[in-house]
Structure 1
Amino acid sequence: MILERQEKEGWGTKVIDRLSADLREAFPDMQGLSTRNLKYMRAFAAAWPDREIVQGTLAQITWYHNIALLEKVRDPHVRLWYARRGLEEGWSRNVLAMQIESRLHDRQGKAINNFALTLPPGDSDMAAQVFKDPYLFDFLGTADPRREREVELALTDHIQRFLLELGAGFAFVGRQVHLEFADSDYYLDLLFYHLRLRCYIVIELKSVPFDPRFVGTLNMYLSAVDDQLRHSDDESSIGLLLCRKGSKIEVEYALRGFQKPMGVASWETKLVKDLPEELQRSLPSVAEIEAELSREEVGK
């Protein structure tokens, strides 16, 4: 009605102000009739002309979720993606806003993987959508962990935020999970179970760029988990290697030929992500800093 009135009477007639005053006078006990809220209602009606979408997805999330979508997302297709995803995963308004700010839609399903060759078609599509790239560990603050064990400890200290970044369906099993075979002890960095995929998820963390040798180790761990932990009702275990970037073609070549389903993605902390690109390039790497410190130590 507001859109129709504004089209007929023009924007300068204060249609919303007059309507708000009339409504509050007619319904003094009713909340949500302020000028500001009516403007949100007008924006909502303009953004969603398709009644089927409104009655389907949007009617099932709160008005505050809808306001967040209107304020933070311009593209209607992307806005609907977040609405549907938020409904599926039960996001609060704050979590929805956080996922939008982290551009989840650009990261979801982007991990390089071999799922199409190692899993049945339906399972491979679902598994591909479970993983993202990059993973944003903003909750680590400005910390820049240099060793895998430091990353593990930080993630498990913030397990709720870590699970939120991983996405719905992940159940934490443990860190440094012990496996024994060939008269040797091995320890998985992080072990999860995915409730929708019905399988174990082995996550290996690296604080360095991708190295093809990491894939061989992860493949070995997956074989051991399938033999020692997997129940007869479980699907094949899936591996996720998280490292500090890497060449896409190198990752694809490294995964080729392996029979175990694996994905490779990068991870970032707030410190690196927030710096302008030109400043990131001008900063020394961890390896360069350590080399310089070693030279100073030798000089002493």
Structure 2
Amino acid sequence: MSELEKSEGSVLDGEGFYRKVADVLVEARRRAASAVNLSMVYAYFEIGRMIVEEQQRGKSRAEYGKQILQGLSAYLTERFGKGFSVANLTLMRKFFLTYASDEISETLFPKSSALPAVSTGRRFFLSWSHYLKLMRIGNVEERHFYEIEAARNNWSLAEFNRQFDSALYERLVLSGDKEKARALAEKGQVIASAKDAIKDPYVLEFLGLPEQTVYSERDLETRIIDHLQEFLLELGRGFAFMDRQARFTYGEDHFFVDLVFYNRLLRCFVLFDLKLSKLTHQDIGQMQMYVNYYDRNVRLEGENPTIGILLCKDKHDSMVEMTLPEDNSQIFASKYQTVLPSKEELKRLMDDQE
């Protein structure tokens, strides 16, 4: 190799090296920003505590609380600038009142021991923007669930808003029972069996397909692939995309599985078959064949049985139950919708289950 070639090679290698060093700095700045945001959450909790205690000392004077907020707002704004309006100080007060006696299991967060604890022993894991959203959730169990999942899955605020707006908590509760609702509040979503990974319905509003638009199954599949990141977020924890239109041959016939995923937590393949029309028992039989093929020809030793999910526009639950065996743990039918559900309607369905 000539000196020129060596020189050119070192420049190219150097550019790669430069990028790696830059990546370290970008990550460090991200972590620093995250640390600053988290430290402000603790500061706001402490400010809220001090406001509440000072107001309580002057509770005999009706206007004392307002005077404290107005005076403190003027003082802090003069010293520190924006961010300390009466409205923001009121939110800090609410933050303290919401979380002063609120407990959440720290065993859910292995790194929580590295975080400081406030005077009540509570630790915080999310940004102030996340807690502003959480404080608007009146149901304590639902609030705990979203805090756990946002911290565990590192949801951005946009992702958190999307999961809340798509009524993730209500949909998971509807797929279980009262015990599952309690477990969601205490532990978040725990995926220990195939049923734990299933939602009904799946909300696919990010595909941009209006409810009444006519489209084909291939169109639906293509939209899902085009929005794969959002679809994986909707699926939940542990899913990895493997293939689309996965072909296999049985006898002289060729078959195609619409979408193939693998779930790392369940350690199994998850097959999706997309249906636009009402689900039939033939559709269930076909999915059973797909699952059997993967179990017998694709699944490796040590992996768990394959899961099949029929994602359909409409289904008849009694027909599904009659077609599948009573001990079924592999084939599931879930509806999908292309618009965000009404949280009020889902809450009514939850109430009907009680």
TM-score (norm 2): 0.66
Aligned residue in 2 for 1:50: 101
Q: What amino acid maps onto 1:163 in structure 2?
A: L
Counterpart pick for 1:5 among 54, 64, 79: 54
Q: Which moved more, 1:210-219 or 1:256-265?
A: 256-265
Distance 1:75 1:258 in 2: 34
Counterpart pick for 2:322 among 253, 265, 283: 253
Q: What amino acid maps onto 1:22 in structure 2?
A: Y
Q: How many angstroms does 1:79 deviate by?
A: 0.8
Q: Is the 8 A contact 1:219 1:260 kept in 2?
A: no
Distance 2:139 2:62 in 1: 24
Q: Is the 8 A contact 2:166 2:341 kept in 1?
A: no
The 3-state SS of whatever aligns with 2:270 is strand
Q: How many angstroms does 1:213 deviate by?
A: 1.9
Aligned residue in 1 for 2:40: none
Q: Is the 8 A contact 1:60 1:87 kept in 2?
A: yes
Q: How many angstroms does 1:217 deviate by?
A: 0.8
Q: How many angstroms does 1:77 deviate by?
A: 1.5
Distance 2:160 2:222 in 1: 26
Larger radius of gyration: 2
Aligned residue in 1 for 2:133: 68
Q: How many angstroms does 1:146 deviate by?
A: 3.8
Q: Is the 8 A contact 1:218 1:241 kept in 2?
A: yes
Q: Is the 8 A contact 2:194 2:329 kept in 1?
A: no
Distance 2:196 2:101 in 1: 27
Structure-2 change in CA distance of 1:24 and 1:259 (3 Å): closer
Q: Which runs of 5+ in 1 are unaligned?
A: 113-122, 278-300
Alignment of structure 1 residues 94-109 onto 2, 5 Å: 94-108=158-172
Counterpart pick for 2:274 among 187, 205, 209: 205
Q: Is the 8 A contact 2:267 2:304 kept in 1?
A: yes
Q: Is the 8 A contact 1:203 1:241 kept in 2?
A: yes
Q: Is the 8 A contact 2:172 2:199 kept in 1?
A: yes
Distance 1:226 1:2 in 2: 61
Q: Is the 8 A contact 2:194 2:330 kept in 1?
A: no
Q: Which runs of 5+ in 2 are unaligned?
A: 1-49, 107-116, 177-189, 346-354
Counterpart pick for 2:74 among 21, 38, 41: 21
The 3-state SS of whatever aligns with 1:220 is helix
Structure-2 change in CA distance of 1:145 and 1:223 (3 Å): farther
Q: Is the 8 A contact 2:203 2:234 kept in 1?
A: yes
Q: Is the 8 A contact 2:77 2:83 kept in 1?
A: no
Distance 1:162 1:57 in 2: 34
Aligned residue in 1 for 2:208: 141
Q: Which moved more, 1:248-257 or 1:222-231?
A: 248-257
Structure-2 change in CA distance of 1:145 and 1:240 (3 Å): farther
Q: How many angstroms does 1:52 deviate by?
A: 4.2
Q: Is 2:89 aligned against 1:38?
A: yes
> What do residues 104-150 of structure 1 show as CA deviations (whole Å, max 9, x unaligned)?
101126459xxxxxxxxxx9854322111111110122443543222
Aligned residue in 2 for 1:163: 232
Counterpart pick for 2:141 among 77, 91, 95: 77
> What do residues 54-97 of structure 1 show as CA deviations (whole Å, max 9, x unaligned)?
958861111111111113x1212111110001111111111111
Q: Is the 8 A contact 2:191 2:266 kept in 1?
A: no
Q: Is 2:241 aligned against 1:172?
A: yes
Q: How many angstroms does 1:17 deviate by?
A: 1.9
Distance 1:216 1:111 in 2: 23
Q: What amino acid maps onto 2:53 in structure 1?
A: E
The 3-state SS of whatever aligns with 2:309 is strand
Q: How many angstroms does 1:259 deviate by?
A: 5.7
Structural RMSD (CA): 2.7
TM-score (norm 1): 0.78
Q: Is 2:334 aligned against 1:265?
A: yes
State the aligned residue count: 261
Q: Is 2:326 aligned against 1:236?
A: no
Aligned residue in 1 for 2:124: 59
Q: Which moved more, 1:48-57 or 1:218-227?
A: 48-57
